[in-house]
Structure 1
Amino acid sequence: MSLFVSFIVCALALTLDRILGEPARWHPLVGFGRMVTAIERQFNTHSARPWQSILKGSAALLLVTLPILGVAVWLSKLLDGFWLLITQAIVLWLALSLRGLSEHGLAVAEPLHSGDLAAAREQVSRIVSRQASALDERGVAAAATESMLENGADAVFASLFWFLIGGIPGVVLHRLINTLDAMWGYRNPRFLYFGRPAARLDDILGWLPARLTALTYTLLGQRKLALECWRRQASHWDSPNAGPVMAAGAGALNVRLGGPSPYPTGIKQRPLLGGTQAADAGSIKAAINLVQHGVWLWLGVILLITLLLWTMGFTT
């Protein structure tokens, strides 16, 4: 697939996302999630030993992903020309969520800015797993800012990356595994072993996109502080991919994230990330802008590489 066609597909998908947003009904990932829930209930027997749970989790993962991945490969080989381009744009549009990220973030920032803490708590509870009722204004702002930065990596940049690398099969595989990790990747008795294959595969698929996202945040923010936070703080985070993204993003915005956070199971002590400024409604909007500007940067880089290869006589 030529690089210029990839640029066109990315631009079309982002345009569809900007105009239409996420489908309100019949979103493929919603149907996938329902299937995943049903499969998990059949496979995840809590009496199984750890190695049995890992094997069952692996089998369930293959069962729910391989048929869909097979269809994605079949479509890529069956279609060509205009119809392949349109299909790629639609699939990528369904996989990424730049507009949805912005809408969820602003739904928290706007009532927080106006002093309506109750409404801000209600909205932030839709995008994070923290106990929103126990969060003060700074806690709500920090939770939403973290969500913008992390989901920018998972729901935007990783989708673009895997489309550029693997076309329809690449972006479909990443989105399916990332969804499985979101549903099965909990470190609790129910999913500790069963969800481990999905969590580890998601770590592998997200490793390079996460670091490219961290680099993007660094280039577009306070570069020196972002690099310092990335170097010193990322390894302290419990996720190998969220660590660089969150640390670089917090540094780029010079906002303080992490720290103690209330969850239904109790207070979780998390490493501090970023700079010295407390999170507020403005930091949520700044994080949204960072993701949006990062998308423009990626499109610009793709187009620049295309033009350079063209001037050098290479077919792109």
Structure 2
Amino acid sequence: MRASDARALGLVLGVALDALFGDPRRGHPVAAFGRTASRLERGFYADSRARGVLFTGLLVGGAGALGVGVERAARRPVARVGVTALATWAVLGGTSLGREGRVMASYLEAGDLDAARGRLSHLCARDPAGLDADALARATVESVAENTSDAAIAPLVWGAVAGVPGLLAYRAANTLDAMVGYRSPRYANFGWASARFDDVVNWVPARLTGLLTVAVAPRSDAWRVLRRDGASHPSPNAGRCEAAFAGALGVRLGGTNAYGGRVEHRPELGDGRAPQVPDIRRAVRLSAAVTVSAAAVCAAWAWKGR
């Protein structure tokens, strides 16, 4: 078995493991990485871009180096398949994303706004206070759209390109962006490198997410809205995912969002009606279809890569 065959098969098996089991319940490697990053930040922090660059480089480089070591240790093809599958399972979050979307849908379908507001933090950093059912539905649909790329498509792309090192380094970069990449007084400088690097590594996956959304919803407005509105979002990547989902679902995303007292007015994406509670489950199903399509594309790319 060639190395490319082992990589392709490992990616497919990893997607299957994620679909069957979701995130590991205990001892999740990403959580362990987060604790390591938090400890390093406490002794490393300074209001400095240079210090942030070094912080990001050490952690992302360390994760990639660990992946190189794991692949070299797995000399036999079966072992290479196994470690690729386990690494893919560890870094994927598509099944957990879908589960969170369905939980939000269940709360809102039951009319339990307090529970839904309390759960929103599992999906995004938006301030849930005062949000009604439709506003919570919009926040959930937007989060499912954006995180389809971050949680599922991007890891598969980097796994196809660089194997286990790519999988681990990508998840490290994305986790650091979630930890220190916010626009806040503390992280404006220190988190700059993490935020910008995350933008770079998600550039191709976000656009692939948009194109695959168009492919799995061929009779929708996904292509038209993606082309017209994808660049309107303040993020260089999230807008591609959200615009494609807006067109595919026939809804209008964007608008006013509050984040910890800071209010953002974002351009609207799409021409449809405002999202409603039933659209959450539609978005979750669309996310799953895009993930399956990405798994096929990335496995084929890995198989032909060497």
Q: Is the 8 A contact 2:207 2:237 kept in 1?
A: yes
Q: What amino acid does structure 2 have at the position aligned with 1:233?
A: D
- Does residue 156 (structure 1) correspond to residue 149 (structure 2)? The answer is no
RMSD across aligned positions (CA): 2.1
Aligned-residue offset at 1:118: 1.9
Aligned counterpart, 1:169: 165
Aligned counterpart, 1:66: 61
Aligned counterpart, 1:41: 42
Report the structure number with the largest CA radius of gyration: 1
- Does residue 294 (structure 1) correspond to residue 282 (structure 2)? The answer is no
- Once residues 185 and 50 of structure 2 are traced to their aligned partners in structure 1, the CA distance between those partners, rounded to angstroms, is 16
Aligned counterpart, 1:135: 131
Aligned-residue offset at 1:155: 0.7
What does 1:194-213 align with in structure 2 at a 5 Å threshold?
194-213=190-209
Shift in alpha-carbon separation, 1:26–1:178, aligned structure 2, 3 A = same
- Does residue 278 (structure 1) correspond to residue 279 (structure 2)? The answer is no
Aligned counterpart, 1:312: none
Q: Deviations over 1:259-311 (max 9, x none)?
A: 0123321432111112312212221111111111112223444677799x7xx
Aligned-residue offset at 1:65: 2.7
Please give the secondary structure, in 2, of the residue aligned with 1:134: coil
Please give the secondary structure, in 2, of the residue aligned with 1:235: coil
Q: Deviations over 1:233-266 (max 9, x none)?
A: 2222111011111111111111111101233214
Q: Deviations over 1:191-247 (max 9, x none)?
A: 111111111111111111110001011112255622222222222211101111111
Aligned counterpart, 2:224: 228
Give 2:175's match in structure 1, choosing from 179, 182, 195. 179
Q: TM-score, normalized by length of structure 1?
A: 0.89
Shift in alpha-carbon separation, 1:258–1:222, aligned structure 2, 3 A = farther
Q: Is the 8 A contact 1:153 1:209 kept in 2?
A: yes
Q: Is the 8 A contact 1:134 1:262 kept in 2?
A: no
Q: Is the 8 A contact 1:230 1:244 kept in 2?
A: yes
Q: Which moved more, 1:287-296 or 1:63-72?
A: 63-72
For structure 2, the residue ranges without an aligned partner over 5 or more in a row are: none
Give 2:113's match in structure 1, choosing from 113, 117, 120. 117
Q: What amino acid does structure 2 have at the position aligned with 1:94?
A: A
Shift in alpha-carbon separation, 1:200–1:267, aligned structure 2, 3 A = closer
Q: TM-score, normalized by length of structure 2?
A: 0.92
Aligned-residue offset at 1:64: 2.1
Q: What amino acid does structure 1 have at the position aligned with 2:46?
A: T
Please give the secondary structure, in 2, of the residue aligned with 1:278: coil
Shift in alpha-carbon separation, 1:29–1:134, aligned structure 2, 3 A = same
Number of equivalenced pairs: 304
Greater relative contact order, per chain length (Cα 8 Å cut-off, separation 6+): 2
Aligned-residue offset at 1:29: 1.2
Q: Which moved more, 1:117-126 or 1:283-292?
A: 117-126
Q: What amino acid does structure 2 have at the position aligned with 1:199?
A: A
Q: Is the 8 A contact 1:7 1:299 kept in 2?
A: no
For structure 1, the residue ranges without an aligned partner over 5 or more in a row are: 47-52, 310-314
Q: Percent identity?
A: 34
Q: Which moved more, 1:88-97 or 1:19-28?
A: 19-28
Aligned-residue offset at 1:184: 1.1
